[in-house]
């Protein structure tokens, strides 16, 4: 396996229509070994992906936005993982969700269901009333299982986490992140796009020809629930480049290993967030490889790896033992979400990259 063969696999994926465009970046011990872009950001206009093209990161929002906000609030002494919803947000006090802990929400073992199409109801409400209306639905949402009894990946839990962060920080999630995390780290290309806001002078990768909005989505969040929430949500909404995602992840990894110290991140907290919980199948805000058929392939250390997938075709995986990061950003749902070729491509490209890094003496 060579860098040229990795490049060929990405080009072939574009040619075969696995995704119109993408970016692949991988590093070891903080040193970027490969950072290339491919294909189209908008296939209808013939616009090509560039290194500064912003991808809709979808559920990568959960670990690199929401979890980072919670980690920061813990470091500031303003919240604790064992804190419950009932003691954090008054409206939950007399509900079945009162005893859900912040850690339950981060690890997806809160008992909340996976998803609800809230946008169908909330979309009928005037924009200024949508967030309060959605939060009323979150209060009313019944549990699907006992708190802490099973792990069910839940967008709804991270919608509630956004509310928790806003309550504790006394600021919207996006503003808190910019001021407390991204701006101090000089990360300029991790950002939310508010619904209806003027687009910055940046290139965005197009996503779906949306059957609900009846238009091509470009520069606005694809996730319908995040869209009706105003574009800023705990479960989705973040946009970014491979470089900006790597900037954050490589610092977290360096703090985890002790290679670097940083005033924003305490090593014990970073290690806590990146270590799978004993009572869940996930880490705090991060996913871990499934025992069989994982998208990270077969060569990552299964017990010491964290990452996440995004519905739009984005992903990252970090092998904590080998200090390897692989970031794959694509717009695989452009123009339709029914293109699922990436399911077989992801483990293949990850295995190819890992094989190269683990066997090459020249990298």
Model confidence at 291, pLDDT cuts 50, 70, 90, reads confident
Q: What is the Cα gyration radius of the chain? A: 20
Residue 198 has pLDDT above 90, yes or no: no
CATH 3.40.710.10 segments of the chain: 3-62+178-359
pLDDT digits (tens, 9 = 90+) for 47-95: 999 999 999 999 999 999 999 999 999 999 999 999 999 999 999 999 9
Residue 217 has pLDDT above 80, yes or no: yes
Residue 201 has pLDDT above 90, yes or no: no
Task: From 339, 344, 355, 347, select the one nearest 317 (Cα to Cα).
Answer: 347
Residues 6 or more apart whose Cβ sits within 8 Å of residue 163: 89, 135, 138, 234
For the whole prediction, is pTM greater than 0.75?
A: yes
* Token pair in block for residue 67: 């979890």
Q: Is 31 helix (H, G, I), strand (E, B) or coil?
A: strand
Chain mean pLDDT for the chain: 96
User: Do the Cβ atoms of 174 and 240 come closer than 8 Å?
Assistant: no
- Predicted pLDDT of residue 280: 67
User: Do the Cβ atoms of 162 and 234 come closer than 8 Å?
Assistant: yes
- Predicted pLDDT of residue 363: 78
Residue 361 has pLDDT above 90, yes or no: no
Over residues 274-286, mean pLDDT: 84
Residue 183 has pLDDT above 80, yes or no: yes
Sheet holding 55-56: strands in order across? 55-56, 238-240, 190-192
Task: From 145, 156, 158, select the one nearest 118 (Cα to Cα).
Answer: 156
Model confidence at 36, pLDDT cuts 50, 70, 90, reads very high
Q: Does domain 3-62+178-359 have CATH number 3.40.710.10?
A: yes
More confident residue, 299 or 278: 299
pLDDT digits (tens, 9 = 90+) for 127-148: 999 999 999 999 999 999 999 9
| Separation of CA 77 from chain center | 25
- Predicted pLDDT of residue 69: 98
Model confidence at 279, pLDDT cuts 50, 70, 90, reads low
- Predicted pLDDT of residue 360: 84
Over residues 249-277, mean pLDDT: 95
Over residues 316-339, mean pLDDT: 97
User: Do the Cβ atoms of 171 and 76 come closer than 8 Å?
Assistant: no
């Amino acid at each position: 396996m060579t860098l040229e063969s990795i490049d060929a696999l990405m080009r072939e994926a574009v040619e075969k229509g696995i995704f119109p465009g993408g970016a692949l970046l991988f590093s070891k011990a903080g040193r970027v070994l490969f950072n290339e872009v491919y294909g189209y950001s908008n296939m209808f206009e013939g616009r090509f992906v560039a290194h500064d093209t912003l991808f809709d990161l979808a559920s990568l929002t959960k670990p690199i936005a929401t979890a980072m906000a919670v980690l920061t609030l813990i470091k500031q002494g303003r919240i604790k993982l064992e804190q419950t919803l009932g003691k954090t947000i008054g409206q939950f006090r007399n509900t079945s969700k009162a005893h859900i802990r912040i850690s339950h929400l981060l690890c997806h073992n809160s008992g909340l269901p996976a998803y609800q199409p809230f946008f169908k109801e909330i979309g009928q409400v005037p924009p200024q009333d949508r967030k309060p209306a959605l939060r009323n639905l979150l209060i009313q949402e019944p549990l699907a299982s006992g708190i802490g009894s099973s792990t069910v990946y839940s967008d709804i839990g991270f919608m509630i986490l956004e509310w928790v962060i806003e309550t504790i920080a006394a600021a919207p999630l996006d503003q808190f992140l910019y001021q407390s995390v991204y701006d101090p780290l000089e990360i300029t290309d991790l950002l939310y796009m508010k619904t209806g806001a003027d687009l910055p002078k940046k290139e965005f990768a197009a996503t779906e020809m949306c059957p609900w909005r009846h238009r091509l989505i470009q520069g606005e969040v694809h996730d319908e629930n995040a869209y009706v929430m105003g574009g800023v949500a705990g479960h989705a909404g973040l946009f970014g480049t491979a470089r900006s995602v790597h900037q954050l992840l490589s610092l977290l990894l360096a703090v985890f290993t002790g290679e670097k110290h940083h005033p924003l991140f305490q090593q014990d907290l970073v290690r806590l967030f990146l270590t799978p919980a004993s009572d869940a199948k996930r880490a705090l805000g991060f996913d871990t490889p499934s025992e069989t058929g994982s998208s990270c392939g077969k060569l990552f250390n299964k017990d010491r790896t964290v990452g996440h997938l995004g519905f739009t075709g984005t992903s990252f995986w970090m092998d904590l033992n080998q200090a390897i990061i692989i970031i794959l950003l694509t717009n695989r749902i452009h123009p339709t979400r029914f293109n699922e070729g990436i399911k077989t491509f992801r483990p293949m490209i990850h295995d190819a990259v890992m094989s190269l890094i683990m066997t090459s003496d020249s990298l």
